[in-house]
C-alpha cells in the first residue's frame, strides 16, 4: 500500500471524544470507538440542524486518533474523536467538543475491504520505518485522521468488502 503525499490546511472539527484503552475485538460496534460512533450518529440523526449550516461536507465524517507515545506505552490509552469538519466554531452545541488539527504533510492511504481493519500494521510497522519520514509531533502528541465518506464506506461486517476509507498520517522528514 503506497501513499500519496498531500498537504492539508488546518482542520476545524466538532464531534465527540473518548479517552482510554481500546477493549473488544477489532472493529466492532460494541467497543468504545464503535460506541462513540453510535453516540455521535444519534446526535447527528436527532440534532444535526444545529451545525448543518457550518459543515464543510455533510457526506464526510472523521475519526481522529491522538496519542502521546510515552503515555500510550505506559497505559495503552489514547484519545479518539469522531465528528465532522466545520467552517467555524460559532455556537457549538453543549454535547459536542471541538478539535483544531494543525496544518501538516500527510501520507494519504486508501485502504479497501479487509485492508480497512489491518492498515495500521502495514503503515506503522512496514511502510513508515522504510519511508524516510517519522510521525509529526505536535506538543509531544501524534495524530492520524480517518475519513469515512458516504458512498465509499458501506459499513461493517459483509459490507466492509465493498468499502474504502482515506487515512491521513501526519508526518515530518526524518532528521
Tens digit of each residue's pLDDT, the chain (175 residues): 789 999 999 999 999 999 988 765 566 667 888 899 999 999 999 999 999 999 999 999 999 999 999 999 899 889 999 999 999 998 899 999 999 999 999 999 999 998 988 888 889 999 999 999 999 999 999 999 999 999 999 887 788 889 999 999 999 988 7
- In this prediction the pTM is 0.92
- For residue 158, the model assigns a pLDDT of 82
As a whole number of angstroms, the distance between CA 82 and CA 36 comes to 7
DSSP 8-state symbol, 91: T
CB proximity list for 19: less than 8 A, separation 6 or greater: 77, 78, 79, 80
State the DSSP H helix or E strand holding residue 118, giving kind and residue range, or none if neither: helix 115-121
Distance CA 153, CA 143 (A): 21
Burial class (CB in 10 A: 0-12, 13-18, 19+), 77: middle
pLDDT of residue 93: 94
Q: Residue 37 belongs to a domain with what CATH number? A: 3.20.80.10
Structural domain range at position 130: 4-173
Domain count, the chain: 1
Q: How do strand 104-109 and strand 4-8 relate by DSSP bridges?
A: antiparallel
The pLDDT value recorded for residue 157 is 79
Amino acid at each position: 500500500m503506497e501513499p500519496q503525499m498531500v498537504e492539508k490546511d488546518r482542520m476545524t472539527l466538532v464531534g465527540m471524544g473518548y479517552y482510554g484503552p481500546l477493549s473488544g475485538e477489532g472493529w466492532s460496534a460494541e467497543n468504545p470507538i464503535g460506541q462513540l460512533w453510535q453516540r455521535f450518529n444519534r446526535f447527528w440523526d436527532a440534532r444535526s440542524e444545529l451545525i448543518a449550516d457550518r459543515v464543510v461536507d455533510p457526506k464526510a465524517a472523521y475519526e481522529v486518533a491522538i496519542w502521546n507515545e510515552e503515555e500510550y506505552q505506559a497505559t495503552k490509552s489514547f484519545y479518539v474523536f469522531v465528528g465532522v469538519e466545520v467552517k467555524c466554531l460559532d455556537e457549538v452545541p453543549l454535547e459536542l467538543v471541538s478539535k483544531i488539527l494543525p496544518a501538516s504533510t500527510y501520507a494519504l492511504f486508501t485502504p479497501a475491504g479487509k485492508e480497512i481493519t489491518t492498515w495500521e500494521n502495514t503503515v506503522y510497522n512496514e511502510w513508515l520505518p522504510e519511508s524516510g519520514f517519522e510521525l509529526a509531533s505536535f506538543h509531544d502528541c501524534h495524530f492520524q485522521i480517518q475519513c469515512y465518506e458516504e458512498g465509499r464506506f458501506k459499513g461493517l461486517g459483509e459490507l466492509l468488502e465493498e468499502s474504502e476509507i482515506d487515512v491521513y498520517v501526519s508526518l515530518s522528514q526524518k532528521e
